[in-house]
């Protein structure tokens, strides 16, 4: 009995030793700040960046449709910016999906050695600094940039085109930056695709398009959904890419939040905007989890039927 108690006690002690330091650290510097941010989003903004400790729902009101009627009318500009961010993020997801899918397919059918080499090439840019990769696109898209110079050189255009500081530039930039995020989950599910399924489908009389739609796409769907989510999340709240490639012309919700914190100094409003982004991400994840569990239920139901 004694032996058991001391060994249990020692086990508890080592568990405590492992858990306590990170728990305290994350409790103070991770959970507390996030909680304070949530509280801030319900506080009244004070003058010059401070807060007044009153419950105040007009931070959300300004965004969603009820305004402080004493001073202003409701302005849907924030909602517009939010929706534009969602639109640009979705476009980014779609574009990176379309770009990565065939490439992932191509690599997945290579012999092992070459496959590893090309996978290495795909992962490499992920390690290159984000600012550096964005800077490259500034060089390309600027009025005096590479693309305009090249097009003028070959005489296709006389005047530089307005490429940078557009929605397109922002989408291209985000797509470029997040390509590894899309590629790897896609590749993981495409590589698992058993090519004999494709052959079986053809054998049973399906055309290439039918095979793609009925076999390949459903089987690789988890990768598509997974990649889309990890591209969507950082795209939605992004402010670096729009500020570098979109300038003052293309404002996303991230830029708006940055402004509230670093120039307008309305932190409660900025926090409320941040909560909107978080809400959108959580909504997306909830849909994803619902979808996955339904699929699981479906497959377990099928198994029950079998037996």
Which residues within the stretch 55-74 sit at the binding site for another protein (CB under 8 A)? Answer: none
Other CB atoms closer than 10 Å to residue 116's CB: what's the count? 12
Please tell me the count of residues contacting another protein according to CB under 8 A. Answer: 84
Residues of span 103-122 touching another protein by CB under 8 A: 103, 105-107, 116, 118, 120-122
Residues of span 143-162 touching another protein by CB under 8 A: 144-146, 149
Picking from 113, 115, 96, 95, the residue whose alpha carbon sits closest to that of residue 105 is: 115
Beta bridge partners of 55: 43
Is residue 124 a contact residue for another protein (CB under 8 A)? yes
Q: Which is nearer to another protein, 147 or 215 (CB)?
A: 147
Is residue 202 a contact residue for another protein (CB under 8 A)? no
Only one of the segments 63-71, 90-98, 214-222, 273-281 lies at the binding site for another protein (rule: CB under 8 A); that segment is: 273-281
Picking from 108, 111, 137, 140, the residue whose alpha carbon sits closest to that of residue 125 is: 137
- Identify the residue among 94, 136, 188, 202 touching another protein (CB under 8 A): 136
- Write out the DSSP string of 53-111: EEE--HHHHHHHT---TTT----THHHHHHHHHHHHHHHHHHHHHHHHHHHHHHHHTS-
The CA angle 294-298-302, to the nearest 5 degrees, is 170
Is residue 195 a contact residue for another protein (CB under 8 A)? no
Decide if 250 contacts 191 (C-beta within 8 A): no
Is residue 217 a contact residue for another protein (CB under 8 A)? no
Is residue 302 a contact residue for another protein (CB under 8 A)? no
Shortest reach from residue 35's CB to another protein, in Å: 9
- Identify the residue among 42, 74, 212, 261 touching another protein (CB under 8 A): 261
Q: Which is nearer to another protein, 128 or 197 (CB)?
A: 128
Is residue 193 a contact residue for another protein (CB under 8 A)? no
d(CA 65, CA 75): 8
Beta bridge partners of 45: 51
Is residue 90 a contact residue for another protein (CB under 8 A)? no
Q: Which is nearer to another protein, 66 or 117 (CB)?
A: 117
Shortest reach from residue 70's CB to another protein, in Å: 27
Is residue 54 a contact residue for another protein (CB under 8 A)? no
d(CA 162, CA 277): 30
- Identify the residue among 93, 170, 258, 269 touching another protein (CB under 8 A): 258
Looking up tokens 């492992």 gives 18
- Identify the residue among 47, 132, 158, 248 touching another protein (CB under 8 A): 132
Q: Which is nearer to another protein, 66 or 135 (CB)?
A: 135
Is residue 233 a contact residue for another protein (CB under 8 A)? yes
For residue 245, give every residue at least 6 positions away whose Cβ sits within 8 Å of its Cβ, in sequence order, or none.
134, 137, 138, 141, 164, 165, 169, 170, 172, 173
């Amino acid at each position: 009995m004694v032996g058991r108690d001391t060994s249990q006690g020692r086990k508890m002690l080592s568990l405590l030793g492992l858990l306590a330091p990170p728990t305290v650290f994350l409790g103070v510097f991770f959970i507390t700040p996030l909680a304070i941010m949530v509280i801030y989003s319900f506080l009244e903004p004070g003058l010059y960046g401070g807060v007044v400790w009153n419950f105040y729902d007009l931070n959300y009101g300004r965004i969603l449709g009820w305004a402080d009627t004493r001073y202003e009318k409701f302005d849907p500009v924030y909602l517009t910016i939010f929706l534009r961010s969602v639109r640009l993020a979705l476009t980014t997801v779609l574009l990176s999906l379309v770009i990565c899918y065939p490439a992932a397919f191509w690599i997945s059918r290579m012999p092992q050695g070459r496959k590893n080499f090309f996978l290495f090439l795909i992962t490499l840019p992920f390690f290159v600094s984000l600012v550096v990769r964005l800077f490259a696109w500034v060089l390309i898209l600027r009025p005096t940039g590479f693309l305009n110079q090249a097009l003028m050189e070959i005489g296709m255009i006389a005047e530089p085109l307005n490429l940078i500081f557009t929605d397109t530039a922002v989408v291209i930039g985000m797509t470029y930056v997040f390509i590894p995020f899309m590629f790897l989950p896609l590749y993981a599910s495409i590589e698992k695709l058993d090519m004999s399924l494709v052959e079986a489908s053809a054998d049973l009389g399906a055309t290439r398009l039918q095979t793609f739609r009925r076999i390949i796409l459903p089987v690789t769907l988890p990768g598509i959904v997974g990649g889309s989510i990890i591209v969507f999340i950082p795209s939605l709240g992004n402010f670096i890419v729009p500020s570098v490639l979109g300038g003052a012309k293309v404002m996303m919700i991230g830029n708006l939040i940055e402004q509230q914190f670093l120039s307008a100094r309305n932190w409660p409003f900025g926090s409320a905007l941040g909560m909107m982004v978080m809400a959108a991400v959580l909504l997306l994840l909830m849909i994803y989890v619902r979808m996955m569990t339904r699929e699981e239920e479906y497959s377990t139901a099928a198994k029950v039927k079998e037996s």
